[in-house]
Every structure is written in C-alpha cells, then in structure tokens.
A = this chain, B = another copy of it.
Amino acid sequence: MVSICQFGAGRIGAIHAANIADSGAKLAYVVDVNRDAAQALAGRHGARVADADAALADASVDAVVIASSTDTHADLIERAAKAGKKIFCEKPVDLSMDRVDRCIATVKAAGVPVLMGFNRRFDPNFAALKQAIDAGRIGAVEMVQIVSRDPGPPPLAYVKVSGGLFRDMMIHDFDMARFLLGEEPVEVQASASCLVDPQIGAAGDVDSAAVTLRTASGRLCQISNSRRAVYGYDQRVEVLGPKGMLAAGNRTPTTVVASTVDGVVADKPLHFFLERYAEAYRIELRHFLDVCAGKATPLVGIDDGRRALRLAEAANESLASRRAVAV
C-alpha cells in the first residue's frame, strides 16, 4: 500500500486526502502551518500530523501530495525529491521561472517522478475529446477555442499574491491548449482588462483576458478568461480540424428542464471546480498511485508546469508590450 504525506489541509487538500483514503492508499501524514486544519483533516482519515522534516524523514512514506500555498511548492518539491519521494504537486511549480528551473534540475538529479496537478486533463469530458483527436476523428488540429471562467473573483488578498491572472488562472488553459494543440505554441498575443472589480485593477491585475497562441505549423488557439460568470463555472473547449469539430462543455447538477411562459430553463453549469472537477481529481489521484506503483509515468510532468508558466510569462510580456511574443 502506497503511504503518502500530504502538504496542505485547505480546500484542495481536503479533496486529495479524501481521494487518497477512498483509493486504498494510506494517508500517513498531514502537514500544514495551520495545525488545527492539519489535525482536523488527519483525524478524519486516520493520519498523523507532523512537520515537513519528520514526515519526509519517514522512510515508510513513498510519496507526497503538495497542496499547500504556491510559495511553498518549489521548496517542498525539492525536499521531497531529495528524500526520494514520488511527487504530486498542485500547479504552479513557482511563479518565478528561475526558481522553476532550479527545481527541475533538483528533481532530475533525484530521478523521482513528478505529477503536476493540471487536473483538467483528467476530466472525463476533455480526456474523451483528446482521445477522439488522437483517434483521428477530426484530422490534424487546426484551431482550438478555450472558454474558462470562474463563477466569481477570488478574495482580493489572494489576487495580490496569485501572480496575476495569467500565472494563476489561465495557466490551466495554457496547459489545456498544449494538451489539445498537439504542438508547442511559439507565439503569444494577449489582451486583457479589468472589467469585473476595480480593486483587482488597483492591485495591478486584470480579470478579463483574451489570448491567442500560435504553433510553428500555424495552429491557432484562442483562450477567453473571466473572473466572473454569474451562471457558474464555465469550462468549455472546441477543436476544429479538416474532418470536423469536437466540443466539450459544462456539466450540470441535473437534467431537469422547466418549460414555462418564461422560456425553457435548464440547470446552470456546476458551480465551481470542486463540483466540476470532482471526478477529475479522483482520476488524477488514481493515476498518481499508478505512477507510485511504477505502472505509469506522469501524464503531465514538471516540464509541462514549466511550459505553461512560460506561456503565462509571455502573455504578461505581450500585455505590456502590445506585441506578439515568441516563446
């Protein structure tokens, strides 16, 4: 049985801990600067609370799940790598490319697998769409459209440390773009605004963004982000090829449709990532256990984390320079 130490006992940490428990793996430790949160989560799943040193020193621990705050990721990845643990880390590796590069070097030296938490690749809808592409259903990809909108903006305090919309939010879409394009983007054009909350603009960030990616062979991808979609978490992709189009859309709580004098009313999309990607998180965790068991290599690794960050940085550069930025 795989024995796991989890860093982070917050919202996403609770998801992973529950999935570990359900999967048949052992949640050995929970580590969090908030000891109460750590204790509560550990207690729920029969784990122990420890500090990072103690947990990483325990030779019976096979793997770590890093779901703590972004500023701790690179450090924990390195420490876990040096301790020989298999690693599953939420995005991003770090907000600084230099730090990411050093982290990657450490990981490569240690020779441990790292699974980056780009959970959307594991969403059954997007995964099935990707399989259809790979099966040749629409031929070679030409154009990709990604719409990705949160139901509402995060707390301003979070916005301020988030690294900005491109590195915090659109980074998921950059990874999805790479996943679907089947080629590396070589150019980024970004346009963005503050339309949702002036305080986000005052904090130096944007909340609405439109980005275009282009690959060497000319494939095009458009990404639309907004921090606010009052109708729910809006997560859709479309891919055009010479033989047709594949689209994957939102899921709803129920299929109930009410036809009244006011129209034909269906459910809104599932509210947010915890609901929409619940199954993706489960599948992702099972994949990590397969990685731990040597039955799989990470479907999305630390190099993918680096590439998504590079696209985010390029978007920032393009936003500042009003030029297309080569990557």
Residues on A lying within 8 angstroms of B by beta carbon are 22, 124-125, 128-129, 132, 137-138, 142-143, 145, 147, 149, 187, 189, 191-196, 208-210, 212, 214, 217-222, 224, 226, 228-232, 234, 238, 240, 242-269, 322-324
Q: Can you offer 9 A-B residue contacts whose CB atoms are under 8 A? A: A137-B260, A142-B196, A143-B208, A143-B226, A231-B261, A243-B261, A244-B258, A246-B257, A248-B256
- Given A137-B260, A189-B189, A248-B255, are A242 and B196 neighbors across the interface (CB < 8 Å)? yes
CB of A191 within 8 A of CB of B208, answer no
Q: What is the bound-complex CA distance between A31 and B226, given in angstroms?
A: 51
CB of B265 within 8 A of CB of A224, answer no
- CB contacts (< 8 Å) of A264 on chain B: these are 231, 252, 265-269
Q: Give the contacting residue for A219; candidates B193, B224, B254, B257; CB below 8 A.
A: B193
- CB contacts (< 8 Å) of A259 on chain B: these are 229, 231-232, 234, 244-247, 268-269
Q: Give the contacting residue for A193; candidates B218, B244, B260; CB below 8 A.
A: B218
* Minimum Cβ distance to chain B for residue A222 (Å): 5
In chain B, what residue has the closest Cβ to A213? B191
Identical chains bound together, number: 4
Q: Give the contacting residue for A258; candidates B125, B138, B234; CB below 8 A.
A: B138
In chain B, what residue has the closest Cβ to A319? B324
* Minimum Cβ distance to chain B for residue A162 (Å): 20
- CB contacts (< 8 Å) of A210 on chain B: these are 143, 212, 214, 220-222
- CB contacts (< 8 Å) of A269 on chain B: these are 259, 264
Q: What is the bound-complex CA distance between A142 and B145, given in angstroms?
A: 18
CB of A256 within 8 A of CB of B125, answer yes
- CB contacts (< 8 Å) of A194 on chain B: these are 218
Q: What is the bound-complex CA distance between A310 and B105, given in angstroms?
A: 50
CB of B229 within 8 A of CB of A240, answer yes
Give 6 A-B pairs besides A210-B221, A246-B259 with Cβ atoms closer than 8 angstroms: A138-B260, A193-B220, A230-B244, A244-B258, A244-B259, A322-B323
Q: What is the bound-complex CA distance between A196 and B324, given in angstroms?
A: 23
CB of A128 within 8 A of CB of B218, answer no
- CB contacts (< 8 Å) of A260 on chain B: these are 137-138, 230-231, 243-245
In chain B, what residue has the closest Cβ to A139? B230
- CB contacts (< 8 Å) of A242 on chain B: these are 196, 228, 230
CB of A243 within 8 A of CB of B222, answer no
CB of B145 within 8 A of CB of A258, answer no
CB of A195 within 8 A of CB of B245, answer no
In chain B, what residue has the closest Cβ to A260? B244
In chain B, what residue has the closest Cβ to A265? B263
Q: What is the bound-complex CA distance between A318 and B196, given in angstroms?
A: 28
- Which 3 residue pairs of A and B lie closest in terms of their CB atoms, listed nearest first? A193-B218, A244-B260, A231-B259
CB of B244 within 8 A of CB of A248, answer no
Q: What is the bound-complex CA distance between A240 and B234, given in angstroms?
A: 11
Q: Give the contacting residue for A254; candidates B124, B187, B217, B266; CB below 8 A.
A: B124
In chain B, what residue has the closest Cβ to A230? B261
CB of A191 within 8 A of CB of B219, answer no
Q: Give the contacting residue for A255; candidates B234, B245, B251, B324; CB below 8 A.
A: B251
